Chain A
Amino acid sequence: MSSDVRGEPAELGPVMGDGGGTGVPHGAELLAFAEAVVGKGGGDGDLAAARAALLERVGAEGLVDAAAIVAGFDATDRIADATGTQLDDYLERGTVELRAELGIDQLAALGE
């Protein structure tokens, strides 16, 4: 939504790991960083490399912001999942196409 509002359309398939480009500046490095921090594969070496690559692209302040976002949502996801948080009506209405495109609805079925 933020990309559309800004007139900077983004590809969202990579969010679900389809390996494509995002259209977001430094998207590949951002995704690799998130995956290295939260993802299930790799180790400290992969994380160090992803951190260094992202630092080179977005700078020191950008790296801190990226780390904060990754950590913040790693925590927020647990709030949503542990409390059974339901998608808000206005978000559900506004994301019908997006959820279909990304196959996100199948994640909801896992909790039923």
Chain B
Amino acid sequence: MGALVSYDDAPVTVRPDIASTHQAAWDRLSRPGTWWAGSDRIAIAAETRAAATCALCRDRKRAVSPYAVDGEHDRVSDLPEPVVDATHRIASDPGRLTERWYRELVDDSIDDTAFVELVGVVITVVGIDTFGRALGVSAQDLPRPEEGEPTRVRPAGARVDGHWVPSLPAADPTVPNVRRALSLVPAEAQAFEEMGAVMYLPLDELMEFGRDRAISRPQMELLAARVSALNQCFY
């Protein structure tokens, strides 16, 4: 069953396109994905939130190297440990993820396709939770998972080009690499596009530097740049 995404408690009126897109994204969480069952997707979502209060994540965040700190996560699901670890690392300390870490993960524990979908779930939760926190809204209830099997369809033509993970080429060479990053799982890439369109700008408006919202494009970019600097995100 879906959970209602509500911004009734927000101090201001939330744009309808944001609210509706967030509701659609929340509903997707509960449904079987391409590689994960609905129950697994909800478990990943729950672990994404759990990372915020996980002692191991806290200790790793403070360490010079997060890879030098061993221990067990304060988990909230029965997901395999590598899946929990990946989820917590992406949620809590993404700026220090390494290619070596990724290669070892997909070599030993998780297929690249499942990993990309996991990333898609994590960022859905992060995006909606951060938006709510920014406005002072309580965290949305996670939906109950739906039954059904994942589709397990890997798109043809995916190759390593611009990322550690395989991705699909874009017909338009000006499409930024980050907008192709989840394309190994097209449903996640599509969901990211939908979220990006309402929370930032549609893809076809990115190069329109005169494109404002209620705040100007320079104000938008200032916010974006500061967030990325705080997250230590090079891209």
Chain A residues with CB under 8 Å of chain B are 1-3, 5-6, 8, 10, 12, 14-17, 22, 24-27, 30-31, 33-35, 37-40, 47-48, 51, 55, 58-88, 90-91, 104-105, 107-108, 110-112
Contact = CB atoms under 8 A, between A and B. Distances in A.
Interface of B: 11-15, 18, 90-91, 94-99, 102, 116, 119, 122-124, 126-131, 133-136, 162-165, 167, 174, 176-178, 181-182, 192, 195-196, 198-200, 209-210, 213-235
- Which applies to chain A's interface (DSSP): helix, strand, loop or mixed? helix
B136 A47 contact: yes
Contacts of B199: 68-69, 71-72
28 contacts: A2-B218, A5-B209, A5-B210, A22-B222, A31-B222, A37-B227, A47-B134, A61-B12, A64-B12, A65-B220, A66-B134, A66-B223, A69-B223, A70-B134, A71-B127, A71-B199, A75-B126, A77-B231, A78-B123, A78-B126, A80-B233, A81-B94, A82-B102, A83-B119, A83-B164, A87-B234, A107-B95, A111-B96
B191 to A, nearest CB: 11
B7 to A, nearest CB: 9
Contacts, number: 250
